[in-house]
Amino acid sequence: MPTLMIKCKTCGEVFGGLYVDEDSNPKLRVSATNTNTLHMCSRGHNNEYVLEDYMDWS
Ligand SMILES: [Zn+2]
């Protein structure tokens, strides 16, 4: 399953942001449902992410 990764804006840690279905366009899915979303890295830094912050590593 493709994964969209995001990078912590505080410490630079890369972690998984979203998991998407293979038969859908990940960016469209993100755009439709998860823009401007808060994510917390494993160190507890909370940052807000927009579509451009997601990296498609699939
Ligand atoms: Zn962090």
The pLDDT tens digits of the residues spanning 9-29 come to 999 999 886 655 556 665 655
Question: What are the DSSP E strand ranges found in the chain?
Answer: 3-7, 14-19, 37-40, 46-49, 55-56
Whether pTM > 0.85 for this model: the answer is no
Give residue 13's pLDDT.
Answer: 96
Q: Give residue-wise pLDDT tens across range 27-51.
A: 655 555 555 678 899 999 999 988 7
Distance from Cα 52 to the centre of ligand 1, integer Å: 18
Q: Which residue has the higher pLDDT, 52 or 41?
A: 41
Report d(CA 7, CA 12) in Å as an integer: 6
Query: What is the overall mean pLDDT for the chain?
Result: 77
List the structure tokens of 13.
Answer: 């840690």
Distance from Cα 56 to the centre of ligand 1, integer Å: 19
For 2, the enclosing helix (H) or strand (E) is none
Distance from Cα 10 to the centre of ligand 1, integer Å: 5
Give residue 44's pLDDT.
Answer: 95
Distance from Cα 50 to the centre of ligand 1, integer Å: 16
Closest CA to 47 of 3, 5, 7: 7
Helices (H), 1-58: 26-33
